[in-house]
Amino acid sequence: MLSLTRVPDSMSRIGVLNEKPLHASLKHWYAQPGDQFEVPVDGFVIDIVRDNVLFEIQTRHFSAIKSKLAALVSTHQVRLIYPIAQEKWIVQSSPGGNGLVTRRRSPKRGRVEELFREAVGIPQLLAHPNFSLEVLLTREEESRRYDGRRWRSRGWVTEERRLLEVVDRRLFAGAGSWLALLPLRSEPFTTRDLAHAIGVRLDLAQKMTYSLRHAGFIQSLGKRGRATIYALTPANSVRHERAASQSKST
């Protein structure tokens, strides 16, 4: 049974009032009949409660809710929902304020592995039996305005993100689902090997190995020159061999 504790009504109202369009749309898309919304649980306000599972939608900055998640998984089943824009349309208002608006499709294509840019903030939770993470691959529209002060983004500031469509979803719960992202499960590998094998940048492969190692799914075996060599931990190696054997037998 859930332990519902009283929090000020103002806290729930503030959460709804401060809700961004993307967060609100994802909550509406994810909802099912019988769900409860903005529910107080153990002193925290939860986006969605379904049966005995707590659902939290986080569009970025996992580290900001690290302590909240750690507290909740000790006594509850928690699923973190994270959107990744597989396709993004960028809408920009004219810097001159004359009402002109441009809309273009970003050349960047989001992929599931980008979840590790956030997962590095909560790596130990990935292996917790009460924790799961669901990635929603989306089509989004990102609204930007020009303020001239952000040199890294050439003066443009993201005002809000809007959901256009959810095109796919992938659930991570337990070692097997996480290790399925590694094509090199049968042999030792470096982050550069991983980056080459799955076609991502080296910095993302580094975040993947960091997160999976701190979750206890892979281990460091030593060095190959200056590069660290990784392999599955013994327990996960046995699971992988059993799964591979069962796959061949069928």
SS3 sequence of the chain: CCCCCCCCHHHHHHHHHCCCHHHHHHHHHHCCCCCEEEEEECCEEEEEEECCEEEEECCCCHHHHHHHHHHHHCCCEEEEEEEEEEEEEEEEECCCCCCCEEEEECCCCCCHHHHHHHHCCCHHHHHCCCEEEEEEEEEEEEEEEECCCCCCCCCEEEEEEEEEEEEEEEEECCHHHHHCCCCCCCCCECHHHHHHHHCCCHHHHHHHHHHHHHCCCEEEEEEECCEEEEEECHHHHHHHHHHHHHHHHC
pLDDT one digit per residue (tens) for the chain, 250 residues? 454 444 444 444 434 546 899 999 999 999 999 999 999 999 999 999 999 999 999 999 999 999 999 999 999 999 999 999 999 999 988 766 666 788 899 999 999 999 999 999 999 999 999 999 999 999 999 988 877 665 555 667 888 999 999 999 999 999 999 999 998 777 899 999 999 999 999 999 999 999 999 999 999 999 989 999 999 998 887 665 554 454 455 4
Strand partners, 40: 45
105: left (phi over 0), alpha (psi -120 to 50) or beta: beta
104: left (phi over 0), alpha (psi -120 to 50) or beta: beta
41: how many CB neighbours lie within 10 A of its CB?
20
State the greatest distance between any 2 C-alpha atoms of the chain, in Å, as a whole number.
Answer: 67
pLDDT at 240: 58
Strand partners, 216: none
- CA-CA distance, 150 to 131, in Å (whole number)? 37
Indicate the residue type of 125: L
Task: Locate 154 and state its tokens.
Answer: 């050439």
CA-derived radius of gyration, the chain? 21
140: how many CB neighbours lie within 10 A of its CB?
22
What is the residue whose two structure tokens read 């580094």? 206
CA distance to 88, 122, 159, 171, 244, per residue, from 165 (Å): 11, 27, 19, 18, 35
pLDDT at 12: 41
CATH 3.40.50.300 fits 175-244, yes or no: no
Sketch the domain layout of the chain as residue ranges: 1-173, 175-244
pTM over 0.95: no
